[in-house]
Chains A and B, each alone.
Chain A
Amino acid sequence: MHSLIQLSIVVLLLPLLSFVILIFFNRRLPRSGDFLGVGILGTAFALSAYIFWTVIVQTYDPAFRIAWDFTWIDLGKVPGVGPLQIKMGVVIDNLTAIMLAMVTLISLLVHLYSTGYMAGDKNYGRYFAFLGIFTFSMLGIVLSDNLFSIYIFWELVGLSSYLLIGFFFEKDSAADAQKKAFLANRVGDIGMWLGILILYSQFHTFSFVEINANLAAGKFALSNAWLTAAGILLFMGCVGKSAQFPLHIWLPDAMEGPTPVSALIHAATMVAAGVYFVARIFVMLTPDALHLIAFVGASTAFMAATIAITQNDIKRVLAYSTVSQLGYMVLGLGVGAYSAALFHLVTHAFFKACLFLGSGAIIHAMHHEQDMRWMGGLRKHMPWTFATFTLATLALAGLPLTSGFMSKDAILAGAIGFAKVEGGGIFYLIPVLGFFSAMLTAFYMGRQIWLVFFGESRTHLKPAEDHHGHDVHDAHHGAHDDHDCHEEHHGVHEVSWNMRAPLVILAALSVFFVYSPDPLDGAKGWFMKMIQTPETVVGEASLQKAAALRSGVAPLIAEAVLPPAGHAETDSHAAAAAPSHAAPAGVHTFADPRQAEIAHAAHAAHFPAIYISSIMVVLGISMAFIVYVFRIIDPEKTAISIRPLYLFSLNKWYWDEIYEATFIKGSIVLSKVFAWFDTNIVDGLVNGVAFTVKKFAFANGSFDKYVVDGLVNFTAFSVNTTGAVLRKLQTGKVQTYVVMLILAVFGYFVYYFTRLVY
């Protein structure tokens, strides 16, 4: 076993150790054992950093990959399935190394931050235990080398996010949110499992490598539609976990969890797991599936951005922004901008975690005030938070010189290239939606910054009854009860070092030079070089091979005939693409013509994308300035004048209501129908059977009672009577027995005499 594999397993198990210790012994440890959680995560991060250093910095090889697996369960030959072996394994490649470092770093920072944020909570120790198991599950997803173990850790992530979202489970809203999150994830996971089963039924393996090899060899025996279906079903797991439309509804509600949890789960890791998973299965997705994914991502990005404009809760704005950015990543994967999407995943993880932790600091300082309408003027009170929050906001908005700019730009460039290659028309909708979302992002983030940090404090404007509602909320944070919520900004102060340090680190990671020397081109950085778009295994060549296999043509003939045919067919496309393959340095060459074209077109679209997106961002920010800073357009009046649109956005496109009216009502109606069916027909049948059986049983019972029991009772009666007679003889008096004895002797005499006489 490679030493890196051993290290990675240690990294995987360390958070589990933290969980086990803290869940059982947190009440016996000093400070509820938080130092243990932070320490263990620190160790895990140190090891991950070593892995990162070895893999990325020292090796610096895009094709780096080591794997190790073992047979976990061997079921032998299962009838109807064939040999069934379930393997568990660990794979380390560049993506894994980066994700390991990212997850452990953010988890460590969140642990550290939580020692300040959660101080005084009555379940303080348990909170750290939950963070431990969450980190464990997330690392499991990152390290898995097969679909089966990824599915196990996937569900574990679902469970631990359930626990963390509902951490303040005394609050009904938190309990509802955790249930909602769990159920929405469940819908996605069912699809994911079905997708896994489709692949398994074909190849009898869960391993990525083997599945890819089989697909590349064209051994998929079902039609291409099945392959597309498998891809889309697997993508459903991502839809649930990464909060894509239409299962995005759980993520904003999940903001009921503690804010550091939002930073860890709903910004950096868990939602990223969906994108990571799609990246893992990227090579087996057919073009049709990719189209769907791209559209889902684009619509999610746009929809969430429009909703984020009107939200007032500081965390909800960030939540919808997260959904929107996840939409970008999915869009990126869908259009084939694989490395750009993963790049955005990493950069977004850092700056969004920074934003969430910053909002947590603000909420903490404001005594659990979350409504931006009653904030303002915090810039002077919280300079550190202001600086880091602003930097992360710029990254999110995608201003040049930030990491977000590079990654978002790469995705948008990919989207333009994709639209070009696919032949325009409806496909141009994807980059258009992407750019429009970029503008909206800039707008709502500008709005947020202004509302929170600039202007005058508006705390006194807050309606009294609203305050009361938040007091109830505050009951869960007993430590802060000594502050008076009704006071003015006296209580607002900068947070302590253990909350400030993570903000600074995360903000520093949002700057461009961490990733690339050229602030305008992420492709020149180490990330895009290390993470390169892999070769698809369901390209036209392998699809045709599979079709040939299915149609019964011998593989040898197919081999001989098809490649030239495929070549000829794609020649016209390739004519433009082929010479340019090698032209730009750093752009990978692809065997599959479609991928090659997209890569080329995306490269070509790099600068247009930069221009357009910069314009969009500037447009968005200036709109924010116009509306909120210079007040040229009054936001209230605008809201009234376009009231339907405003309400549409404020109410989150009415998705919750739609689901309420369709799925929930539908389920209730359906359950009522089933209940009617149950009570009237099934129960009727059952009762009829029961009635018959009962009658028969009664007849049987009477037979038993009168005939069988009669016989038995008669026997008992006769024995009883005989006994009653005979027991008179048993007087217990010796002399009576003697009398009988002598009577018997006399009887013998009588017998003897009668013998004598006759």
Chain B
Amino acid sequence: MSNPTYTVIFYLFAAITVFSAAFVVFSRNVIYSAFSLLFTFFGVAALYVFLSADFIAVTQVVVYVGGILVLLLFGVMFTNSIMFTELKTDVLHIVPGTLLLFGMIGAMLYTFYTTHGWMPSDVTLQGSIVERIGFETMSRYVLPFEMASILLLAALIGAAFLARFEKPDNNE
């Protein structure tokens, strides 16, 4: 992978991802955080494409951007009276948090770069893998797949139950 264009594009998306993620974390305004998260998800989806997982990338865009992010925005809007209060969020443990942030990054990067045990396979994933995902889903991973469907159903019911509107006067 020594194509310079490729490298540049990779770094561009990596930068978008990292910086938008940092903005998500460090922004004081929840709405800004949410929109910044949009960019993070897009960046991550792009990185998935680089990792030959085009199907996952599409799924990322559809599910995260179309679903989860909208959900989060709804959450923000339900829980904050936008009209009256600024959507600021306070912070806690700022000193240990910061220290740990850099400490963890440093520790992990040090580990990654000093570990020489990465032995990439001869065959790497190349091209589209949508077809293989289909095969895998219907063969080896059919049970987890079905369980995922059950999980989603349960989550759907649970979420609906938890968030339902309860009348103050209980007239059945």
A743 to B97, alpha carbons, bound, how many Å?
10
From A733, A739, A752, A756, contact of B97 by CB (8 A): A739
B111 contacts A by Cβ under 8 Å: yes
Distance (whole angstroms) from the CB of B34 to the closest CB of chain A: 20
- Contact check, B93 vs A749: say whether CB atoms are below 8 A apart: no
CB 8 Å contact bits of A731-754 with B (1 = contact, 0 = none): 001011001001101100110110
> Which B residues are CB-close (under 8 A) to A735?
92-93
From B92, B93, B100, B114, contact of A746 by CB (8 A): B100
- Given known contacts A749-B107, A749-B111, A753-B107, A743 and B96 CB-to-CB distance under 8 angstroms: yes
Closest A residue, CB atoms, query B100: A742
Interface residues of B in 147-168 (CB under 8 A from A): none
Check A746 against B96 for contact (C-beta < 8 Å): no
Contact B97 A746 (CB under 8 A): no
- B67 located at the interface, meaning its Cβ lies under 8 Å from any Cβ of chain A in the complex: no
Distance in Å from the Cβ of B102 to the closest Cβ of chain A?
11
Asked if B100 contacts A743 (CB within 8 A), the reply is: yes
B107 cross-chain contacts in A, Cβ below 8 A: 746, 749-750, 753
State which of B96, B111, B114 has its C-beta within 8 Å of the C-beta of A739. Answer: B96
Cα–Cα, bound, A745→B110 (Å)? 15
What is the CB-to-nearest-CB distance from A112 to chain B, in angstroms, rounded to a whole number?
83
Whether B103 is near chain A, meaning CB under 8 Å from some CB there, is yes
Complex formed: what's the CA distance from A756 to B93 in Å? Answer: 30
Per the bound structure, the CA–CA distance linking A648 and B93 in Å amounts to: 116
Q: Is the CB of A733 within 8 A of B100?
A: no
Q: Assign chain B's interface to a size class.
A: 10 to 19
Residues of B within 8 A of A749 (CB): 103-104, 107-108, 111
Chain A residues closer than 8 Å to B114, beta-carbon distance: 756
What residue of chain B has the Cβ atom nearest to residue A748's Cβ? Answer: B107
- Across-interface contacts of A753 in B (CB, < 8 A): 107, 110
When C-beta atoms are compared, the residue in chain B nearest to A743 turns out to be B100
- Report the contact-size class of chain A (Cβ under 8 Å from the partner): 10 to 19
**B93 engages A736 (CB within 8 Å):** yes
From A736, A739, A752, B100 is in contact (CB under 8 Å) with A739
Q: Hey, which chain B residues are within 8 Å of A743, CB to CB?
A: 96, 100
A746 and B105 CA atoms in complex are apart in Å by 10
Q: Which residues of B contact A746 (CB under 8 A)?
A: 100, 103-104, 107
Report Cα–Cα, A749/B114, bound state, in Å.
Answer: 13
Alpha-carbon gap, A551 to B111, bound state (A)? 119
How many A-B pairs have beta carbons closer than 8 Å: the answer is 27
Measured in the bound complex, the distance between the Cα atoms of B92 and A746 in whole Å is: 19
Tell me if A733 and B104 are in contact (CB < 8 A).
no
A734 to chain B, nearest CB (A): 10
Within the assembled complex, what's the spacing in Å between the Cα atoms of A733 and B91?
A: 13
Distance in angstroms between the alpha carbons of A155 and B104 in the assembled complex? 102
Distance of A743 from chain B, by nearest CB (Å): 7
A733 vs B90: C-alpha distance when bound (angstroms): 14
Tell me the chain B residues, 96-122 only, with Cβ under 8 Å from chain A. Answer: 96-97, 100, 103-104, 107-108, 110-111, 114
CA distance A758 to B3 in the complex (A): 41
Q: How far is the CA of A752 from the CA of B110 in the complex (A)?
A: 12
Q: Give the Cβ gap from B140 to chain A, nearest Cβ, in Å.
A: 32
* A702-758 at interface with B (beta carbon < 8 Å): 733, 735-736, 739, 742-743, 745-746, 749-750, 752-753, 756
Closest residue to A745 on the B side, CB-wise?
B104
**Chain B residues with Cβ under 8 A from A750's Cβ?**
107
Q: How far is the CB of B109 from chain A (nearest CB, A)?
A: 11
Nearest to B97 among chain A residues (CB) is A739
Closest A residue to B108 by beta carbon equals A749
Closest to B110 in A: A753
Q: Min CB distance, B50 to chain A, in Å?
A: 28
Cα–Cα distance between A735 and B100 once the two chains are bound (Å):
13
Which residues of B (76-100) have their CB < 8 Å from a CB of A?
92-93, 96-97, 100
Residue of A nearest to B92 (CB): A735
**In the complex, what's the smallest C-beta–C-beta distance from A431 to chain B, in angstroms?**
112
Give Cα distance in the complex from A735 to B92, angstroms.
8
A96 to chain B, nearest CB (A): 89
Report Cα–Cα, A749/B100, bound state, in Å: 12
Q: Tell me the complex Cα distance, A736–B100, Å.
A: 13
Q: How far is the CB of A728 from chain B (nearest CB, A)?
A: 14
Docked complex Cα distance between A678 and B20 (Å): 101
In the complex, which of the residues A739, A745, A752 contacts B93, with contact meaning CB atoms closer than 8 Å?
Answer: A739
Contact at A733–B96, with CB atoms within 8 Å?
A: no
Do B111 and A733 have beta carbons less than 8 Å apart? no
Residue of B nearest to A736 (CB): B93
Chain A nearest Cβ from B97, distance in angstroms: 7
**A740 — nearest CB in chain B belongs to which residue?**
B96
Residue of B nearest to A735 (CB): B92
The chain A residue sitting closest to B104, CB to CB, is: A746
How close is B113's CB to chain A, nearest CB, in angstroms? Answer: 13
A739 to B101, CA, bound (A): 10
State the CA gap A736–B96 with chains docked (Å): 10
Interface 0/1 of A208-241, CB less than 8 Å to B: 0000000000000000000000000000000000
Q: Which residues of B contact A756 (CB under 8 A)?
A: 114
Q: What distance in Å separates the Cβ of A345 from its nearest Cβ neighbour in chain B?
A: 95
A735–chain B nearest beta-carbon distance, Å: 6
Interchain CB contact (< 8 A) of A742 among B104, B108, B111: B104
Contact B92 A733 (CB under 8 A): yes
Contacts of B97 in A (CB 8 A): 739
Q: Across the two chains, which residue of chain A brings its CB closest to B96?
A: A739
Q: Which residues of A contact B108 (CB under 8 A)?
A: 749
**Identity of the chain B residue whose Cβ is nearest the Cβ of A750 in the assembled complex:** B107
Residues of chain B within 8 A of A742, CB atoms compared: 100, 104
- B111 to chain A: which residues have CB within 8 Å? 749, 752
Separation in Å of the B30 CB from the closest CB of chain A?
17
> How close is A747's CB to chain B, nearest CB, in angstroms?
10
Q: How far is the CA of A743 from the CA of B101 in the complex (A)?
A: 10
In the assembled complex, how far is the CB of residue A737 from the closest CB belonging to chain B, in whole angstroms? 11
Closest CB of chain A to B100's CB: distance in Å?
5
CA distance A746 to B102 in the complex (A): 11
A741 to chain B, nearest CB (A): 10
Report the minimum CB–CB distance from B154 to chain A (whole Å): 24
B103 smallest CB distance to A (angstroms)? 5
- Alpha-carbon gap, A749 to B92, bound state (A): 24
Complex Cα gap A753–B110 (Å)? 10
CA distance A735 to B97 in the complex (A): 10
- Minimum Cβ distance to chain A for residue B89 (Å): 13
Nearest 10 CB-CB pairs, A to B? A749-B107, A739-B93, A742-B100, A739-B96, A746-B103, A735-B92, A746-B100, A746-B104, A735-B93, A746-B107
**Additional A-B contact list (13), CB under 8 Å, known A743-B96, A743-B100:** A733-B92, A735-B92, A736-B93, A739-B93, A739-B96, A739-B97, A739-B100, A742-B104, A745-B104, A746-B100, A749-B103, A749-B108, A753-B110
Identify 6 residue pairs between A and B in the complex whose beta-carbon atoms are under 8 Å apart, listed by A's number.
Answer: A739-B93, A739-B97, A743-B96, A746-B100, A749-B108, A749-B111
Q: Which residues of A contact B (CB under 8 A)?
A: 733, 735-736, 739, 742-743, 745-746, 749-750, 752-753, 756
